[in-house]
A and B are shown apart, each in its own frame.
Chain A
Amino acid sequence: MNPHFLRIADLTVAFSTRDPSLHIGPQGAAKRFAVAESTHPDVTVDVSWMEATDPIGIEEAQLRFDSGGIWKLYEQQNEFLFVFSSPRFIGGGVYKLALFDKDFCRGQVRLVKSCYPPGESIYPLEYPLDELLMLNLLGRGRGVELHACGIVDGAGQGFLFCGQSGAGKSTTAGLWQKDVPGAEVLSDDRIVIRKESGTYFMYGTPWHGDAQLSQAKRAPLSRVFVLKQGRQNGIQTLSAATAAAELFARSFPAFHDSSALDFTVQFLSEMSDQKPCELLTFVRDSSAVEFVRRSVA
């Protein structure tokens, strides 16, 4: 039962199984976030098989959130149960359960055996579970995840470009990679922000965008932009209140948890006070990169 360790935004998740017939490990971009070991993981997850006919255990539980997609969240006796289902299976069947304690420090993932290809390695925290776990950890006073592209320039300055789908995050990532020697993309779709000793850091995550760029690195946050495509390049500083609202609209809070929502709003408000946020109207070509770099110089 050798555990696997993932370290995302300085939070470590250990997952393991006692079942020799179950082959597990990180897959896809999550592999880039695998670490050899950790003596004190933030989360420990035990993985096991279950049969499709096994009871799910939601009879007494309260539905806390329905994503409208492949997962629902239930709460029972201070435990949280994620139920994952897909219409690929008979009756829109359940393919995975994930049960966590109230602090999301310990969990169990149960995989419905008939839903997985026999003999193949499985990533039990497969999206969206890995991201949901991270959002719940961050919402407990640790940080915020934003729909954003994070780029570190050759001088180590962190640029955050926030935007919803289609805003131009992957385009921006590609342009900076092409035009700026030494530029590194931490992710072209999801960035975690945390504050440490008064400094805001942006962290790469495995949840990449079209350009499939992600790295297990962090950088001090230098500039914050909200992306807006336009016919010419321009920058407008947003008021702290507007910035906080714009960032919240591009964040991924734990919607079922009022304390986490409060924390997210507070975190983004403070960040907007301390790190001016700018609306970047940009043309989708290299001139946008040059424009931003000149505005920094």
Chain B
Amino acid sequence: MGMKKQTPAAKKVYSKPELTRIRLAPSEAVLGNCKSSSTVGPAQGACDLPTSCYTSGS
């Protein structure tokens, strides 16, 4: 029982590992500030938070 011979075509092509940096946007991801200006309440878009207000927008 011999080992199966690997054909050259089945060989995997070596690809050099790469480091990819993905940009995170933590200030957007944590929902820290206002987004909607269409509601009544303290968090509405008109409030004067110390950080720039996250009014409706992408």
Interface residues of A (CB under 8 A from B): 27-30, 65, 67-71, 84, 86-89, 95-96, 115-117, 120-123, 126-128, 131-132, 135, 147, 149, 163-167, 169-170, 188-189, 207-210, 212, 242, 245-246, 248-249, 251-253, 255
Tell whether, in the assembled complex, residue B20 and residue A242 are in contact, meaning their CB atoms are under 8 Å apart: yes
| Shortest Cβ gap from A211 to chain B (Å) | 9
Tell whether, in the assembled complex, residue B25 and residue A252 are in contact, meaning their CB atoms are under 8 Å apart: no
Tell whether, in the assembled complex, residue B22 and residue A245 are in contact, meaning their CB atoms are under 8 Å apart: yes
Encode B16-31 as 1/0 by CB contact (under 8 A) with A.
0000101111011111
Tell whether, in the assembled complex, residue B38 and residue A128 are in contact, meaning their CB atoms are under 8 Å apart: no
- A77 CA to B54 CA, complexed, in Å: 33
| Chain A residue contacts of B35, Cβ below 8 A | 127-128, 207
Tell whether, in the assembled complex, residue B20 and residue A245 are in contact, meaning their CB atoms are under 8 Å apart: yes
Main secondary structure of the interface of A (DSSP, over half): loop
| Chain B residue contacts of A249, Cβ below 8 A | 22-25
- A121 CA to B27 CA, complexed, in Å: 30
Tell whether, in the assembled complex, residue B43 and residue A86 are in contact, meaning their CB atoms are under 8 Å apart: yes
Interface residues of B (CB under 8 A from A): 20, 22-25, 27-36, 38-44, 47-51, 54, 56-58
Tell whether, in the assembled complex, residue B42 and residue A28 are in contact, meaning their CB atoms are under 8 Å apart: no
- A252 CA to B28 CA, complexed, in Å: 9
Tell whether, in the assembled complex, residue B40 and residue A117 are in contact, meaning their CB atoms are under 8 Å apart: yes
Main secondary structure of the interface of B (DSSP, over half): loop
- With A69-B51, A88-B47, A209-B58 already in contact, the answer to whether A252 and B29 are too (CB < 8 A) is yes
Residue of A70, A123, A170 touching B58 (CB-CB under 8 A): A170
Residue of B34, B41, B57 touching A210 (CB-CB under 8 A): B57
Tell whether, in the assembled complex, residue B56 and residue A87 are in contact, meaning their CB atoms are under 8 Å apart: no
Tell whether, in the assembled complex, residue A29 and residue B36 are in contact, meaning their CB atoms are under 8 Å apart: yes
How many A-B pairs have beta carbons closer than 8 Å: the answer is 127
| Shortest Cβ gap from B55 to chain A (Å) | 9
Return the chain A residue nearest B31 by Cβ: A128
Tell whether, in the assembled complex, residue A188 and residue B39 are in contact, meaning their CB atoms are under 8 Å apart: no
Tell whether, in the assembled complex, residue B58 and residue A71 are in contact, meaning their CB atoms are under 8 Å apart: no
| Chain A residue contacts of B56, Cβ below 8 A | 189, 208-210, 212
- A135 CA to B48 CA, complexed, in Å: 26
| Chain A residue contacts of B33, Cβ below 8 A | 69-70
Return the chain A residue nearest B45 by Cβ: A127
| Closest 4 A/B residue pairs (Cβ) | A69-B32, A28-B38, A209-B58, A67-B32
Residue of A65, A70, A135, A165 touching B28 (CB-CB under 8 A): A165
- A103 CA to B34 CA, complexed, in Å: 26
Residue of B22, B25, B29, B32 touching A70 (CB-CB under 8 A): B32
| Chain A residue contacts of B31, Cβ below 8 A | 67, 69, 71, 127-128, 131-132, 135, 252
| Shortest Cβ gap from A171 to chain B (Å) | 9
Residue of B30, B50, B58 touching A67 (CB-CB under 8 A): B30
Tell whether, in the assembled complex, residue A127 and residue B40 are in contact, meaning their CB atoms are under 8 Å apart: no
Residue of B24, B41, B48 touching A116 (CB-CB under 8 A): B41
- A121 CA to B29 CA, complexed, in Å: 29
Tell whether, in the assembled complex, residue A209 and residue B39 are in contact, meaning their CB atoms are under 8 Å apart: no
- A84 CA to B22 CA, complexed, in Å: 31
| Chain A residue contacts of B27, Cβ below 8 A | 68
Residue of A29, A123, A242, A252 touching B41 (CB-CB under 8 A): A123
Known: A68-B32, A88-B48. 6 other contacts (CB 8 A): A29-B38, A68-B30, A86-B47, A87-B50, A95-B41, A147-B28
